Structure 1
């Protein structure tokens, strides 16, 4: 990360001829971002994604930084990522979808408990792909793991009898996450009568495989969850992280402590987890305004 930063600063100085004070500002802003990534357990810029950038900007907001400062930080990140992608060192720019400095203030979109039940009830479990989809959705909501972690799971990482899964998050950090009885039951059913019909030699290690018997991809899962959201007539925008956000929010709404949620989500910094407490506070306000006679 530091090498990319030095090359970028050199580019700004030599090719764009920026003033020394401007270079110092860029270096300071981007060094703060790199330190944040390190604390998140990221070993390289390639591991950072849109949520990483949003979490960093949200942290700046929680630290009391002004909107102007956050806007400047986002502008620096955009320039840095565009340069790095243009030089062929990264394939994607995680700031590309951030339309304005106000974007970091947007809270994660979550489903209600009723919407989750509706979504998870859509797969046709009599079919091999249906029981696979049901197991994946149940595991994702029961554990809150990232979609990338879900599709990376190998067979030996699911400890169904003991009620947990072992996954590797950003930076290769290992964690154990409780599975829950419902998810464990459907995962067991998938292994018994779904995976055996789908598996091919090239996908032998993968827990979840596609209809060709190879490891399911993140993009493949996104298509699956979009399909079931349409089937359930859920009008909210669904992303690969929707069930992860819903998992965290529902736990906090029902009294889970934030440190436990942080550990289950695999967040290195609790400031990343604290965004969900803001969601629960908003819900409490809604309940109060709806229920109190003098609200």
Structure 2
């Protein structure tokens, strides 16, 4: 079978399987690759083209098409990255003798400061979780752990229960690419974890007696994933925002991660330590939080310095 007669869906499937096996790519990453490459395949099909025959000009025209659709720079940059990686894989497999996308420069990413929350807003969210009418101990534990560690939401909801045993001072977190890191727990987080774990184990004992298998996850669920999903937690944190009087538009699990880093930096923590706790591969990613502080200090001066105030008319 020639490479042109091999359906593009097979190219995508083989590429994703290789990513999962060799790089231990996260499910969310593989989903994004699949979505981007499927869109490119659809555009090629409409032009009577194939992954095997597409040229550099074709890839560039596809990116122009994406821009004409109004896609953000970050989305276009991600799609080009996916295409480059697909063609690198195809070259290694002998399906192509070149990589038509290798010399194409991406649109770059707009430098946007991450949204964050101040300490008062975080306190309101934590208090709302403690007062939630259902699953109170679980919800409080989720929020305390998120703010105390800066974990990604997927890392949080998929934590194994084994990581929480023995009143740990540190949590072992498995992040992107299967890389593990240790993150320290604050006293409030340890207290919330211990209270929830006792309730969770009691519920698990009852479920076991009813014939249900024990869950290996700290936050178990009867759903397909076996643990609380990131989508459900996204909904929960919006509920806490409403209950706590914080604008829901400002609150996502990721803004708590940003708050963790920003508040640490403001408190005097060094960038290398924050990088390690966040699981950033490059310290330049962590440096964005210095810009957040710079922006806040500028705003503080502009709002409160007497020479910055507009003269009364």
Q: TM-score, normalised by structure 1?
A: 0.66
1:48 corresponds to: none
Structure 2 SS opposite 1:105: coil
1:125-175: per-residue Cα shift (whole Å, max 9, x none)? 697711100011000000001110011111111256341111100000010
1:179 corresponds to: 185
Whether the 8 Å contact between 1:107 and 1:279 is mirrored in structure 2 is yes
Check 1:198–1:242 CA distance in 2 against 1; reply closer, same or farther (3 A cut). farther
Whether the 8 Å contact between 2:77 and 2:109 is mirrored in structure 1 is no
2:251 corresponds to: 238
Whether the 8 Å contact between 2:132 and 2:139 is mirrored in structure 1 is no
For residue 205 of structure 1, the aligned residue among 193, 216, 230 is: 216
Residue 262 (str. 1) matches residue 246 (str. 2): no
CA distance in 1, matches of 2:131, 2:73: 50
Q: TM-score, normalised by structure 2?
A: 0.62
Residue 168 (str. 1) matches residue 174 (str. 2): yes
Whether the 8 Å contact between 1:147 and 1:240 is mirrored in structure 2 is yes
Q: CA deviation at 1:185?
A: 0.3
Residue 140 (str. 1) matches residue 146 (str. 2): yes
Structure 2 SS opposite 1:122: helix
Structure 1 unaligned blocks of 5 or more: 30-70, 86-100
1:148-207: per-residue Cα shift (whole Å, max 9, x none)? 001111111125634111110000001010011000001101112345236744452111
Q: CA deviation at 1:79?
A: 6.0
For residue 129 of structure 2, the aligned residue among 89, 101, 123 is: 123
Structure 1 SS opposite 2:307: coil
Residue 189 (str. 1) matches residue 202 (str. 2): no
Q: CA deviation at 1:275?
A: 1.4
Whether the 8 Å contact between 1:132 and 1:195 is mirrored in structure 2 is no
Whether the 8 Å contact between 2:137 and 2:192 is mirrored in structure 1 is yes
1:38 corresponds to: none
Check 1:175–1:119 CA distance in 2 against 1; reply closer, same or farther (3 A cut). same
Structure 2 unaligned blocks of 5 or more: 1-11, 17-32, 64-71, 87-106, 309-313
CA distance in 2, matches of 1:189, 1:127: 16
For the pair shown, which has the larger CA radius of gyration, 1 or 2?
2
1:23-56: per-residue Cα shift (whole Å, max 9, x none)? 7979xx9xxxxxxxxxxxxxxxxxxxxxxxxxxx
CA distance in 2, matches of 1:140, 1:15: 47
1:50 corresponds to: none
1:107 corresponds to: 113
For residue 223 of structure 1, the aligned residue among 235, 250, 260 is: 235
